[in-house]
Amino acid sequence: MTLQGKVAIVTGGGGAIGRAICLELANAGADVVVFDLLEESAERTAGALKKQNAKSMACAVDVSNFDAVCAAAADVYQRFERIDMLVNCAGGSARSKMAEFHLQSIEVIHWMLQVNLFGALHCIRAVSPFMVQARRGSIVNVSSIVATGGKKGCVEYGAAKGGVIAATKSLAIELGKYNITVNCVSPGLVQRDAVSDEKAFANRFSVVNRICTQEDIANAVMFLVRPESDFITGQNLAVDGGRSLGLRGDN
């Protein structure tokens, strides 16, 4: 129980990856506050945490709204009197609205930046003063290998996630003197739905013989928030099974 007595906020905690992160933090003894756009999703994750006898709190928060984020962070601090960890997992690609950039609507472009980049910055700006005051803390941002490798149809998403990586580095420099670490985890393809041939799918999207799971991402986050990792800061950890290795066309 290495995180016993500590308080974590996980944004996007109602989603598949966010929920896995919440569960791992709770397993390590942390009290977990679930931020999610959808109240029902936040409550579902909080309910799962309570079944593990973990203290939890669900908050319906639109991370693109800075005032709403500030109010939610203040509520968390008032209830728990501390905020030790922030995991920015809210966001995602445009999915069905993906398009080549010269055809993409400006509304989708702005939406991607608001949720993936500004959402993370809003949460860090709202929470970091509490960490600075306490002179301790750990922030982990979830980016993507798309930010460093590029992908067709994901210009705005890659730009937003690239901004998250850049912000992580500068924040690590600024906040290090307050004993606050800031790191980034960049997943590859995390498969949510069942596939007919798991090995073939894994070999297509990685160099290892299995599919990436939500727990793989949660384990990477856990590594970075543990006290044993407090000398690691400003880093971007790719969790992609080696997908980002190698030159195009090589096997």
Instruction: Identify the CATH number of the domain in which residue 127 sits.
Output: 3.40.50.720
CB 86 within 8 Å of CB 140: yes
pTM exceeding the 0.85 threshold for the entire prediction: yes
Short-list 217, 214, 216, 183, CA closest to 86: 183
What is the maximal distance between C-alpha atoms in the chain? 54
Q: Domain range for residue 106?
A: 7-239
Give domain status of residue 162, yes or no. Answer: yes
Q: Supply the pLDDT for residue 229.
A: 97
For residue 52, count other CB atoms closer than 10 A to its CB. 11
User: Does 250 fall in a domain?
Assistant: no
Does a structural domain hold residue 166? yes
What single letter denotes the amino acid at residue 217? Answer: I
Number of domains present in the structure of the chain: 1
Which of 157, 160, 181, 239 is catalytic? The answer is 157
Query: Is 1 within the bounds of a domain?
Result: no
In a domain? residue 247: no
Is 184 inside a domain boundary? yes
178 a catalytic residue: no
- pLDDT, residue 200, reads 84
Whether 251 is covered by a domain: the verdict is no
- Those residues of the chain that have pLDDT short of 70 are 1, 247-251
Amino acid at 127: V
User: Does residue 248 lie within any of the structural domains?
Assistant: no
Q: Give the 3-state DSSP-derived string for the chain, with helices as H, strands as E and coil as C.
A: CCCCCCEEEEECCCCHHHHHHHHHHHHCCCEEEEEECCHHHHHHHHHHHHHCCCCEEEEECCCCCHHHHHHHHHHHHHHHCCCCEEEECCCCCCHHHCCCHHHCCHHHHHHHHHHHHHHHHHHHHHHHHHHHHHCCEEEEEECCCHHHHCCCCCHHHHHHHHHHHHHHHHHHHHHHHHCEEEEEEEECCCCCCCCCCHHHHHHHHCCCCCCCCHHHHHHHHHHHHCHHHCCCCCCEEEECCCCCCCCCCCC
The answer to whether 73 touches 50, Cβ cutoff 8 Å, is: no
Q: Which amino acid is at 164?
A: V
**What's the confidence (pLDDT) of residue 5?**
94
